[in-house]
Amino acid sequence: MPGNLSPDSLSSGIGLRRWFATAPGAAVAILEQQSAREILADLFGYHILQLGDPSPVTLLEHSRISHRVVIAGSVAEGEKVSLLATPDQLPIEPNSIDVVVLPHTLDLASNAHGVLRETERVLIGDGYVVILGFNPWSSFGLWRHALGWRGHAPWSGRFLSLARLKDWLGLLGFDIERIERTSFRPPINSARWHHRLEFIERLGSYFWPIFGNVYVVLARKQIATVTPIRARWAKRTRLGNVIEPTARQAGLRSELRREDP
């Protein structure tokens, strides 16, 4: 295990996996799998990378890309992780990955903007990033304010607002292709009550979608374009305050002189 992995990053990743095993966490995982299946099935390429601690079922299983890599800060028994590394210092060559998936990676990262910079670096031109994040303007956001002090994931994480995420992606040269919002039930630990409140999922998607607990963003990395400079074939030089005439202008003047009476 690399020595630069902090104990906080390891504990937050383990805590998030434990939370996904609870009633509200399992419900969120199902909804995230549905969104990932719809988005990843339409993305193609040679290499896909999931950056961050895996969910109960890795999201890459919904991709048609054969070469799949998972880089995480920690690993539990039975999980498939290709490499242990920090998400803001990736041992990957630039412009080499077709799709990067960030499942709540920015929520738990101590340097969320650095993670996005690394994502932009390793993606090819026209490559895609799929970001899953907790919405601070939701019932999960209220729970975070009430329970964040306890230091338990996901409430101890940094819930990045969708507006700020859009700003960061724009600065890094990404175009937003798609935004989805899902999960509207409050994170009540009682499985019985969580099941009874299932109807809120249908109501929330129609009446208050902006307050979804989870957002899923699909963004595409722009290709840098170079504007060609048109050659200046008829370059004129200045002699003092007089512009030197071109050969064509000099010829016209001589013809006009010969035609004068």
Low-confidence winner among 46-60, 172-186, 225-239 (lowest mean pLDDT): 225-239
CB under 8 A, 24+ apart: contacts of 33-42: 33/57, 33/59, 33/62, 34/182, 35/132, 35/180, 35/182, 35/216, 36/62, 36/101, 36/130, 36/132, 36/216, 37/62, 39/130, 39/178, 39/180, 39/216, 39/218, 40/64, 40/99, 40/101, 40/130
Beta partners for residue 103, in sequence order: 132
Residue 233 pLDDT: 44
Mean pLDDT over each residue of the chain, to the nearest integer:
80
| Across 195-199, average pLDDT | 81
CA distances from 99 to 130, 218, 229 (A): 8, 10, 34
Does residue 108 contact residue 153 with C-beta atoms inside 8 Å?
yes
Does residue 208 contact residue 185 with C-beta atoms inside 8 Å?
no
Does residue 106 contact residue 168 with C-beta atoms inside 8 Å?
no
Share of the chain above pLDDT 70, in %: 75
Higher pLDDT, 220 or 6: 220
Q: If we measure between CA atoms, which residue out of 144, 120, 156, 135 comes closest to residue 16? A: 156
- Ordered by where they begin, the domains of the chain are 7-221 (3.40.50.150)
Low-confidence winner among 23-27, 111-115, 241-245 (lowest mean pLDDT): 241-245
pLDDT digits over 221-261, tens only?
998 655 555 544 444 444 344 444 555 555 545 554 555 54
Whole-structure pTM value = 0.78
Beta-sheet strands, E only, within the chain:
47-51, 67-72, 83-84, 97-103, 123-134, 174-182, 214-221, 238-239, 242-243
